[in-house]
Structure formats: C-alpha cells, structure tokens
A = this chain, B = another copy of it.
Amino acid sequence: MTEKLGPEKIDDALAELNGMSPSKWQVENGKLHIKLDFGNFVNAFGFMAKVAILAEKMDHHPEWSNVYKTVEINLVTHDAGGITNKDFDLARDISKVM
C-alpha cells in the first residue's frame, strides 16, 4: 500500500512540486490543495476534462469543485489516511495541464 507521508517528506515534495507548477499547491486540512482561476467556464471545464482523464488513467481521483471560472482541488489518499506519493504524482500531472 502507498504510505502516508510525514510532515518533512510532504514539505520536500511540496517544494519540488511548486518549483514546476505555474500556481502554488499547499497543504490545507490534511489535503494537497490548490485553487485556480481560468478566466471563464469553458477554460475551467476544459482543464477539468484533462484532469479527469489523467486521474482515471492513474486510478487516483481528486475531490474537486467548480464555480464558473474557478476550480478547487483537494488531493488525499483515503486508504492511507493522509497525503501519499499518489497525491503528489497526480498533482504533478495536474500542474502540467494548468
């Protein structure tokens, strides 16, 4: 099973992730969190469609919401009870299509 990461490993992985992301991820309520603004709904949902395909391919899915031009994403591994490498893998894929 993918193991829950401790605070130090999360900090390291977060720094690396944010080095390659156009927007910044942070840990919020024990989940890897980001809020993005795409200017309009078509762009916001277009992004979601890309992420949906990546997530399904990875068999690891986001908790997310959309209000018009904004998309909020939370990543956590429920089986592990916290943030794991699977969440960082998905976050990296998401960052590539932002």
Contacts and interface: CB of A to CB of B under 8 A. Distances in A.
Interface residues of A, number: 16
A65 B68 contact: no
A52 interface: yes
B67 A42 contact: no
Interface string A51-90: 0100110000111111110000000000000000000000
Nearest to A74: B67
B61 A68 contact: yes
B65 A41 contact: no
7 contacts: A41-B61, A42-B56, A45-B56, A48-B48, A64-B65, A64-B66, A65-B65
